[in-house]
Structure 1
Amino acid sequence: MRILILLFVAIQAQAQMAGLRGGVAVSNLTQTDFSAHTGFYAGVVGNFKSGGIYTLQPEMGFLRVGAKGDISYEVPRVGVVNEKGIVADYVYLNIMNKFSFHPAFGILVGPGWEQEVSNHPALRKQWDLAVNLGIEVKLSPKLGFEARVRRGTRDLYNGSHTLPRSSELFLWGENSFLAFQAGMFYYFAK
């Protein structure tokens, strides 16, 4: 019986579509005196509409984030290295929950997991959990714009440019990446 219910739900989850997404990501490390870095994101997206206003939207792709500023760190057998900022490349997996209150407008919220592939020595952790919140506006059933804010939850940086805690709003991820993303998406025909 459970298998039949699962099969029924899977069949009802119609309008499965796949697509591409990409755009600009402006990011910075929170609670530091660094300035913003402009990177990008690109990936693939699935779209599983369950009926009504809810759609499950898994995403997988590449994200480049960073922060600008003078940093120095020590590398074993090399010594002190000075750079003009941090650039980190991540592969990501987001499980977005989309709520479409109008056929041309949706609100997205969901968690994400990211693995750093650049192994930047100034970052002390190679993976992060993120929280994503955004909106999308469809120009057609296949093409549209999206805007999101993405916030990491783990302390990634412990260098000399950290600032004293000024807010109790986020008790986690004190020195994590905060990114604003703006881009486009395109779904292939179903």
Structure 2
Amino acid sequence: MKKYLFFLLCSFFCKAQEFDLGLKGGLSYVSLRGNTSEVSSFKGKMGAYVGGYGQLFLGRVFSLQPEILFSRQGAKWERTDLLPNGDVYVTSMNTDYINVPILANIHLHEKYSLQIGPQFGFMAVKPEIGAEEPLFNGSNYLDKNIYRTFDFAISIGLKVRLTDELFGELRYTNSLTNLFNKEAPALESANFSNNNTFRHTCFSLGIAYRLKQLTIF
């Protein structure tokens, strides 16, 4: 039995493997999922992403695709009780992340692949929410400590081969991590909701361009 397993491992690792390197980018529609208070609301907004990827082929049916992406996410926040003249306070929360998806590609056809796997996100730029008037408990700006800096999500999508070097990708990403640090005192003045539990959801559409294919052992 040990000899049989050793033979299988040797036959796998000694076989030449193809590895693609490329660039990718696209547009996304991002929103925050959660229950808001009576005076607050979150609306979806357009975002974008750009980065690079690698793809390790482990046979005809399966490949592993790690990526590193700079992604602009967030939402539009509206609040109805902040401005004295009755206007609605509106601001764009641009949460910028370095996202690292690690996806399994299941090749359903020579042109189509199903993608699924985890995504690890690291907040690169925290949104600055503020106004000319001291609207947030005497301050002009919300404390940036209200945000958590790590995000864990699950992605699922479809990859389509357009040419030998060009691919299209449609992807849905659902975050499992709360955007806000519930222990931050500034959340009370923000009055997002009673429990301050909001998670990103993202639909993205983009293209990937293969720069080079390597053969590794």
- Please give the range of the TM-score, normalised by the shorter of the 2 chains: 0.7 to 0.9
Mapping of 1:13-92 within 5 angstroms? 14-31=17-34, 32=36, 33-70=41-78, 84-92=91-99
1:161 CA displacement:
3.4
1:34 CA displacement:
1.1
Q: In 2 relative to 1, CA 111–69 (structure 1 residues): closer, same or farther, beyond 3 Å?
A: same
SS in 1 for 2:106: strand
Structure 2 length-normalised TM: 0.71
The partner residue of 1:143 within 156, 166, 173 is 166
Please give the alpha-carbon distance, in whole angstroms, between the structure 1 residues aligned to 2:120 and 2:50: 15
Please give the alpha-carbon distance, in whole angstroms, between the structure 2 residues aligned to 1:38 and 1:50: 35
Q: Which has the larger radius of gyration?
A: 2
Please give the alpha-carbon distance, in whole angstroms, between the structure 2 residues aligned to 1:184 and 1:135: 12
The partner residue of 1:101 within 99, 108, 123 is 108
Would you tell me which structure has more strand in proportion to its own residues? Answer: 1
Unpaired runs of 5+ in structure 2? Answer: 81-88, 128-143, 181-186
* 10-19 vs 46-55, greater mean Cα deviation: 10-19
Please give the alpha-carbon distance, in whole angstroms, between the structure 2 residues aligned to 1:122 and 1:151: 23
Q: Report the aligned-residue RMSD.
A: 2.8
SS in 2 for 1:34: strand
1:126 CA displacement:
0.7
1:188 CA displacement:
1.8
- Are positions 1:152 and 2:175 aligned together? yes
Instruction: Kindly indicate whether the alpha-carbon contact (under 8 Å) linking 2:126 and 2:147 is maintained by their aligned counterparts in 1.
Output: no
SS in 1 for 2:108: strand
The partner residue of 1:126 within 139, 146, 149 is 149
Deviations 1:127-151 (A, max 9, x none): 1111101001111122111010111
Aligned length: 173
SS in 1 for 2:101: strand
Q: In 2 relative to 1, CA 104–163 (structure 1 residues): closer, same or farther, beyond 3 Å?
A: farther
SS in 2 for 1:9: helix
Q: Hey, what does 2:15 align to over in structure 1? A: 12
- Are positions 1:185 and 2:208 aligned together? yes
Q: Partner letter of residue 178 of structure 1?
A: T
1:9 CA displacement:
3.0
Q: Hey, what does 1:161 align to over in structure 2? A: 192
Q: Hey, what does 2:183 align to over in structure 1? A: none
Please give the alpha-carbon distance, in whole angstroms, between the structure 2 residues aligned to 1:127 and 1:4: 42
Q: Partner letter of residue 189 of structure 1?
A: K
1:52 CA displacement:
2.5
SS in 2 for 1:16: strand
Unpaired runs of 5+ in structure 1? Answer: 73-81, 165-172
Using the aligned pairs only, state the percent identity: 24
Q: Hey, what does 1:76 align to over in structure 2? A: none
Q: In 2 relative to 1, CA 123–3 (structure 1 residues): closer, same or farther, beyond 3 Å?
A: farther
Q: In 2 relative to 1, CA 138–56 (structure 1 residues): closer, same or farther, beyond 3 Å?
A: same
